[in-house]
Amino acid sequence: MKINNKDTFNKELPADKNLENTRRQVYNACFSYVTPKKTAKPQLLHVSEEMLANIGLSKGDSTSKEFLNLFTGNTVLEGTHPYAMCYGGHQFGNWAGQLGDGRAINLFEVVHNDKRWTLQLKGAGETPYSRRADGLAVLRSSIREHLCSEAMHHLGIPTTRSLSLSLTGDQVLRDIMYNGNAAYEKGAVVCRVAPSFIRFGNFEIFAAREDKETLQALADYTIKHFYPEITSEGKQKYLDFLSSVRDNTIKMIVDWQRVGFVHGVMNTDNMSILGLTIDYGPYGWLEDFDYEWTPNTTDAQHRRYRYGNQPYIGMWNLYKLANALYALVEEVEPLQAILEEYEKLYLQAYRTMMKQKLGLNTDENYVSLISELEQTLQITEIDYTIFFRNLSKVLSKDTSEEAFAKIKDAFYVTNTEEALEKWNNWFTNYLTAIQKEDIDDALRAEKMNLVNPKYVLRNYMAQLAIDDADKGNYELIKELHELLKEPYAEQPSQEKWFAKRPDWAKHKVGCSMLSCSS
C-alpha cells in the first residue's frame, strides 16, 4: 500500500508542547499530538471505492490487514504524527469555550492527482479535548455519517467524505435519549476525508484567548492552502477571506435547502471554513415539507436549527467568524459590510435554485410563484422529494387538474378544501409560467431532474440499515451506498426507495427523532 503522505497542518502550525494525553486547556497551539486507541477486534464493514481511488489506493489495498489496522487506528503510518485539533465554538447560541477534536484524530494528509486530502478517524479514542466523554463512536451514528456524507457528495453538495466504516469490537456505553437508560452498543470508527477539517471554531478559540499570533498563523495557513486565489495582502487579505467563506457557506446552505437536508447542530464548531457539510450527527431529511422541522431532540424546544432557520444561522455563524477575524483587521466597518451582503446574496442564490427546481429559465424572478408554493407546501403535509421529482412530469398543455394529479402521490394526508383551492391556483400560475418558457416539456423535465433528486437518504432508510447492522447484516449499507451514488437517475429496480416515509417511522427514535448521543 503506497500512500503519498504530505503533511502540512502539523508541520506549519504551532503544536501543543505537552505530549501527554490528559484532558486540559491547550494554549498557543493549533493541535495536540495523540495516538489513536487500539481496538479489540477491528472489522471493516464498508469502503467507498471512489474515495479509495481519490487518495490513490486500489480495491486490493482495502482488503489488506495494513488498511484495516491503519484506518481503525491500530497502527500509525510510518513517518506520520496523528493529532487532535484545538477549537472552540458557539453551541446553541452561547460561547462554549474550548471544545476541540474530542473524538476525532487526524492521521495524515495525502496528495493525489494534485488534490490534498486529510484523513481523520472519528471514534478512535480520547484526546486532550475529550472533556468528560470517552472519545468513541457507536455503530448507528457511524453508519449515518458514512452513508450520508457520500450521498451528499453524489448530490453535488460540498461535504466531508467517508473512506471507510469499521467495527472496533469494543462496547460503548450510551444513553440515547438522555433518560437514564444507558446501554452498551457496538463501537465503530469512520475514516473521514476532507481537504481540511478546519472550522469557524478554530479561529474563535484564539480570538477569545487574545492569541493574535496563533490566530494569524492559522488564517495565513488556511488562505495559503485552501484559498490560494486570494492574493491581496495585509488587512484586505483577511477581508477577502471572510468574503470567500461567506460565499461558500451560502452555496452550501442553498444546496441543503434544495434537497431538504437539515443539519441539526449548526454550532460554529460544526461549520467548515471551506463551506463543507461537516459533522453528521442528528441530521435529517425533510419528509413532509415543514420550515419548523428539526430532527434534533436536543433542539426540540427552541428549534434554533430548524429547516427554515438554516440560512439565518449561516449568517449568525459568519458574524462569529468575523468577530474572531476582527483581531487581524481591527476595523469593524469592512467586516460588517461583507456580512451585510449575506442576505442579498443568499436570496439571489436561493431564487436561482428554486427556479431550477421549478424548471424555469427566463430572466423573470418569479418571486410570488415561489413564495406561494412555499406557503402551499407548508400548510399541507406533502413529501418534499416526491413533489419536486414528480413535478417534472407536468406538461405545459396540462390543465391544472391534470398537473395536480401528477403530484398527488406526494401527499401524506387528504387535502382540505382550502388547500385544494391553493393548489389549483398555484398550478394555474405555474402552467402559465412554463408556457412562457421557450423550452419543450421533455428538456425541462430533464433539467429539473438534475436538481430534484429521486433518491435521498430518508431518515427511515438509514435506520433500516442500522437495525440490520445491529443483527450482523451489512448488506443494506452496501445497497444504500450504491443507490445514493446516482440520486438523480431513474433506477427502476430501486423504485421502492422512491416512497413516502412509512407510518411506523413517523415518531420512531432514529427516524424523525435523533439525539446528539452518538
Catalytic residue annotation:
269
Check residue 317 for interaction with Mg ion (CB under 5 A).
no
Please, which residue, 16 or 381, has the CB nearer to ligand AMP?
16
> From the CB of residue 121, how many other CB atoms can be counted at a distance below 10 Å?
27
The item of Mg ion, ligand AMP, none sharing an interface with residue 516, based on CB under 5 to 8 Å by kind, is ligand AMP
* DSSP secondary structure code for residue 365 in this structure: -
Q: Which helix (H) or strand (E) holds 94?
A: strand 94-98
| Binding region for Mg ion (CB under 5 A) out of 179-187, 210-218, 267-275, 282-290 | 267-275
3-state secondary structure at position 216? helix
Per-residue binding string, ligand AMP, 233-272, x by CB under 6 A, is: --------------------------------x---xx--
Q: Which is nearer to ligand AMP, 143 or 358 (CB)?
A: 143
Task: Please identify which residue in 44, 327, 345, 516 interacts with ligand AMP, judged by CB under 6 A.
Answer: 516
Site for ligand AMP in 127-146 (CB under 6 A): 129-130, 133-136
Q: Of 243, 239, 207, 196, nearest to 87 (Cα)?
A: 207
Part of the chain binding ligand AMP (CB under 6 A), chosen from 100-108, 361-369, 370-378, 381-389:
100-108
Phi and psi dihedrals of 184, rounded to 5?
-80, 140
**Cell numbers 468574503 label which residue?**
243
- Closer to Mg ion by CB, 71 or 87: give it: 87
Residue 173: how many other CB atoms lie within 10 Å: 12
> Between 86 and 223, whose beta carbon lies closer to Mg ion?
86
Least distance from Mg ion to the Cβ atom of residue 373, Å = 34
When asked if residue 34 is in the footprint of ligand AMP (CB under 6 A), the reply is no
Query: Which residues lie below 8 Å from residue 239, measured CB to CB, with a gap of 6+?
Result: 232, 329, 334, 335, 338
CA distance 518 to 138: 6
Output the smallest distance, CB 15 to ligand AMP, in A. Answer: 19
Residues 214 and 207: their CA atoms lie apart, in Å, by 9
DSSP string, 395-426: -TT--HHHHHHHHGGGBSSPPPHHHHHHHHHH
The position carrying cell 471505492 is: 49
- Paired with 84 in beta bridges are 32
By the rule CB under 6 A, 103 interacts with ligand AMP: yes
d(CA 16, CA 141): 30
Among candidate residues 463, 460, 454, the one with its CA nearest the CA of residue 483: 454
Integer Cα distance of 16 and 37 in angstroms = 19
Rounded-to-integer distance, Cα 103 and Cα 136, Å: 6
Q: Tell which residue, 136, 275, 90, has the closest CA to residue 195.
A: 275
The CB-of-102 to Mg ion minimum distance in angstroms stands at 8
Q: Which of 100, 187, 314, 510 binds ligand AMP (CB under 6 A)?
A: 100
Q: Compare residues 279 and 287 and give the one whose CB is closer to Mg ion.
A: 279
Dihedral sign from CA coordinates of 192, 198, 204, 207: positive
Q: Which of 279, 287, 299, 398 binds Mg ion (CB under 5 A)?
A: 279
Choosing from 32, 270, 272, 380, the residue that interacts with Mg ion (CB under 5 A) is 270
What's the burial of 413, exposed, middle or buried (CB within 10 Å: 0-12/13-18/19+)? exposed
Q: Shortest Cβ distance from residue 265 to Mg ion (Å)? A: 7
The one-letter code for the residue type at 125 is G
User: Is there a contact between 133 and 105 (Cβ–Cβ < 8 Å)?
Assistant: no
What is the sign, positive or negative, of the torsion defined by CA atoms of 78, 81, 84, 87? negative
Kindly tell me which of 92 and 319 has the beta carbon lying closer to ligand AMP: 92
- Nearest one of 344, 212, 321 to 274, comparing CA atoms: 321
The residue number with the shortest CB distance to ligand AMP is 102
Of the candidate residues 7, 101, 240, 290, the single one contacting ligand AMP (CB under 6 A): 101
**Interaction partner, residue 265 (ligand AMP, Mg ion, none; CB < 5-8 Å by kind):** ligand AMP
Nearer to ligand AMP among residue 125 and residue 453 (C-beta): 125
Task: Output the smallest distance, CB 241 to Mg ion, in A.
Answer: 22
The distance of closest approach from Cβ of residue 317 to ligand AMP in the complex, given in angstroms and rounded to an integer, is 13
In the complex, the smallest distance separating the C-beta of residue 470 from ligand AMP, rounded to whole angstroms, is 19
Looking at the Cβ atoms of 280 and 460, the one nearer to Mg ion is 280
Shortest Cβ 270–ligand AMP spacing (Å): 5
Residue 517 in grid coordinates: 448521543
The interface mask with ligand AMP, positions 280-309, x = CB under 6 A, is -x----------------------------
Of 96-104, 215-223, 370-378, 483-491, which part binds ligand AMP (CB under 6 A)? 96-104
Binding site for ligand AMP (CB under 6 A): 99-103, 129-130, 133-136, 265, 269-270, 279, 281, 516
Binding site for Mg ion (CB under 5 A): 270, 279
